[in-house]
Amino acid sequence: AQSVTQLDSHVSVSEGTPVLLRCNYSSSYSPSLFWYVQHPNKGLQLLLKYTSAATLVKGINGFEAEFKKSETSFHLTKPSAHMSDAAEYFCVVSDRNFNKFYFGSGTKLNVKP
Amino acid sequence: GAVVSQHPSRVICKSGTSVKIECRSLDFQATTMFWYRQFPKKSLMLMATSNEGSKATYEQGVEKDKFLINHASLTLSTLTVTSAHPEDSSFYICSARDNRVPYNEQFFGPGTRLTVL
C-alpha cells in the first residue's frame, strides 16, 4: 500500500532563511512522488514531481526535492524563503497508473518578515 | 494551460436539500476526473474516480447514493450531494488528468466549500 507521512504539521521560518519540509513515503514498488502547494482559496499547484528519473528534482519558485530510497524520504527544500511561500504544502505518492493519489496530512509554512 | 474550474466556489444549503458541484477542464479533455474531500486541518481524501461515459468508481466507505457523480462529457464532471446533512459540510476538490498525458499528474480545481445548516 502507498502512503506518505509529513513529519511537521507547522513550520515557521524567517524570510531569507532556508526551508525544509519533511516527507517520508511507504510504497510496495518504485514510487512516483509529488509536492503540491495550496494557497488560501486557490487550487492545488504542482511544485515538482519525481517519476524514477533524476533523484534531485527541481521545481518551480526555487523549490527542489531529493528522492532518497535508502531513507524512504522526499524532503522539500528552498534555499531562501519568500513571504509569498507561506501556504500549505502536501506530499503525495501515486499508484502505478497515477489513478490514486495519496496525500500527506500537509505542512503549513509560515514565513516571518 | 491545464486549468480546472469548479462551480460554485461556496454554497450554503439547508439540511435535506441536494447540492450539485461542477468540475470543468477548461483547455483540455479529461476522460478521468477525481473527487476529493478535505476536512479542516486534514489531508485530502479521494472519494471517487469519475470516468466519462461510465459509472464512477467509489472508494471504500463513500456512499454511492449520497454522492452522485456524473461525467457527461470529456470536460465536465458533476458531484451531487443528495439530502445533505451538517456532517457533509466540507471542502470538495476535483482534479482531472489530461488525455494527452494520461499517466501523469492531476490538475486540481480551486475547490468548493459546502456548508449545510
User: What residue ranges in B1-117 does DSSP mark as E strands?
Assistant: 4-7, 10-13, 19-25, 32-38, 44-51, 57-58, 67-73, 76-81, 90-96, 107-108, 112-116
Maximal C-alpha separation, chain A: 42
Considering only alpha carbons, which residue of chain B is nearest residue A96?
B103
Residue A11 has phi, psi (to 5 degrees) of: -135, 135
Would an 8 Å CB–CB cutoff place A101 in contact with chain B? Answer: yes
Closest C-alpha to A58, from A44, A78, A39: A78
Touching check for A44 and chain B: CB below 8 Å? yes
- 8 Å CB contact of A105 and B43: yes
Give B26's Cβ-side CA count (13 Å radius).
11
Tens digits of per-residue pLDDT, B45-85?
999 999 888 899 999 999 999 999 999 899 999 999 999 99
Q: What 3-state DSSP class applies to A30?
A: coil
* Helix or strand run (H / E) with residue A6: strand A3-6
Output B39 or A15, whichever has higher pLDDT: A15
Classified as helix, coil or strand, A50 is: strand
pLDDT reading at A89 higher than 90: yes
Nearest to B108 among A43, A49, A98 (CB): A43
Interface of A with B in 1-40 (CB under 8 A): 34, 36
* pLDDT tens readout for residues A27-81: 888 889 999 999 887 788 999 999 877 899 999 999 999 999 999 999 999 999 9
Q: What is the pLDDT of residues B25-35, one digit of tens each?
A: 999 999 899 99
pLDDT tier at B102, thresholds 50, 70, 90: low
Say which DSSP state B86 is in.
Answer: G
Give the closest of A43, A44, A98 to B104, CB-based.
A98
**pLDDT surpasses 70 at B1:** no
What span, in angstroms and rounded, lies between the C-alpha atoms of A41 and A20? Answer: 24
Q: Name B34's Cβ contacts closer than 8 Å, sequence gap at least 6.
A: A101, B46, B48, B49, B50, B94, B95, B96, B106
Task: Find chain A residues with C-beta within 8 A of B49's C-beta.
Answer: 99-100
Average pLDDT estimate for A102-113: 95
What's phi and psi for B88, nearest 5 deg? -85, -10
Instruction: Out of A49, A90, A105, name the one closest to residue B105 (CB).
Output: A49
> Per-residue confidence at A100, pLDDT binned at 50, 70, 90?
confident
Please tell me which residue of chain A has the smallest CA distance to B47.
Answer: A100
